Amino acid sequence: MSAAEGPLVVGVDTSTQSTKALVVDVATGQVVAGGQAPHTVSSGAGRESDPRQWWEALCEALRQCGDAAHEAAAVSIGGQQHGLVTLDERGEPVRPALLWNDVRSAPQARRLTEELGGPGAWAERTGSVPAASFTVTKWAWLAEHEPEAARATKAVRLPHDYLTERLTGQGTTDRGDASGTGWWASGTEAYAPEILDRVGLDSALLPRVVRPGEVAGTVRDRHDLPFSTGTLVAAGTGDNAAAALGLGLLPGVPVMSLGTSGTVYAVSRRRPADPTGTVAGFADARGDWLPLACTLNCTLAVDRIAALLHLDREAVEPAADTTLLPYLDGERTPNLPDATGLLTGLRHDTTAGQLLQAAYDGAVHALLGALDLVLDEEADPSAPLLLIGGGARGRAWQETVRRLSGRPVRVPEAKELVALGAAAQAAGLLTGEDPAAVARRWDTARGPVLEAVERDEAALAKISGVLSDGAPLLRRGTETH
Catalytic residues: 239
Q: How far is 290 from 268, CA to CA, in rounded Å?
A: 6
Helix, strand, or coil (residue 380):
coil
What is the secondary structure of 206-275 as a DSSP string? Answer: SPEEEPTT---EE----TTSSSPTT-EE---EEHHHHHHHHTTPPTT--EEEESSSEEEE--BSS----T
With 0-12 CB in 10 A as exposed, 13-18 as middle and 19+ as buried, what is 478? middle
Q: What is the residue type of 436? A: A
Residue (of 196, 190, 335) closest to 275 by Cα position: 335
Beta-sheet pairing, 323-325 with 342-344 = antiparallel
Helix (H, G, I), strand (E, B) or coil at 476: coil
First to last CA, the chain: 57
- Are 249 and 388 in contact by the 8 Å Cβ rule? The answer is no
Query: Do the bridges between strand 155-157 and strand 85-87 make them parallel or antiparallel, or are there none, so unpaired?
Result: antiparallel
Asked if residue 136 lies in contact with residue 143, where contact means CB atoms within 8 angstroms, the answer is: no
